[in-house]
Structure 1
């Protein structure tokens, strides 16, 4: 079996002689991972009393919404549909832009993110999948453990996916290696930029502080848990209208917040498709963004779903 990987590239899921896991995450980087998880959570605990009559303005709401949409699309259109699955082709400027904005979602450096996700598709809901909720059994206790593992537990593990096996195309791309190394500075940018805008627009230190809190930390927290819910909830609950080799499901309540990623059953049935929400009424903001890129001439060779392909996977034919 083969899975569509990087842009214009098809790579075997099991190349001989290359293990699934690579090196372990260095201790300083692993401490940073815990910080990325814990600090936004602590910010959430402070959010309710701060929002009760003080500390939240319409400017904060607007900045949080804008940065959420921008960085979420960086992850969904960029890291996921473009870099992981090659759902379309793009020029260098858009390629670098998507890598930079995707990094600002603070979900890990691009080489780690893409390697993990390609590995997820190669072993979906089987041993080797980095974040399946079904790895520990089907009893209530096993599923509770599996949900925690799929949602967050796997993020806290030190083992890294083997990049030589899963992202050789990105390793060969100097631009992507540079963006990967810039993950730390881009994390600072994604928190500092809302604060800078909040301070300049409100012309106050208080505006900068509340923008950092709401459009920085709380926005990162919300985006983290929406993304992790696609890994956990969308492999446990929802509809499965298409044939896939795993338990991926469509979970409509997350469709808008995930920019269309929660139409997860179609995605696993047809991983390289640029559109995941293919049925009537299924909103897919990421697909509409790719459509816009195509209309502007920034993207081409877009892998839109075809009636023949949809008929096959609806009928139970798995590629």
Structure 2
């Protein structure tokens, strides 16, 4: 096959390592195996798959190679365990999973393993969608957006919906348009909040609260769009901010304990001073 790297000692070693892990999983699920492993089902392991994926992402964000190696191994473990559970049920085998993946990778890369020529990543992604729709029997979707999974976390789904629409030309000219949209949506949020503050006995607070939820959703969607438009992944940006908040709040807790002060609203001014201290410390550390 064109451009397929030939088998060598490294690939053979990898194959032997994979075979060893497969046999360990067979043992864990076997008659003399682990009670916990034998009780698991594909359904019971869903959350484990998500948790291990997120722990892998955290290790990648931290550029912690040792932790990354461990967490990616955990993702592989859960994937193989679910696959072997289905092998035991007779639905499909681990070999089916691997063979199907190999066939799909080759089928979706005719520009590598076949005779097609593509010059850009954009062309590759468009071809990828066509192959899924036509060659893989998935049918032509009723919407371009149907290929975005409905069960993704909402931030990821928003990002992917926007990215998919943009690929077909539905996009802002530049980030300035998105900024203006954010300002417009914030004005609408402020309008609803004003009406909530001025409510009287005839006001429908439940309706206004629902309207506020709607408008805040529009703000979040627009902010995610700004991130996409400026080349920032919103998940990564929020992950960094979460870590920053954790560090600074932990500093506040430490300093409040040293000052023998309680963490409550009455001591908010002091907590805010420690927050500013934490910010300044981080800036100084970054400039060293």
- Higher strand fraction: Structure 1 or Structure 2? 1
Query: Normalising by structure 1, what TM-score?
Result: 0.20
Higher relative contact order, chain-length normalized (CA < 8 Å, sep 6+): 1
Higher percent of residues as helix: 2
Quick check: which has more Rg, 1 or 2?
2
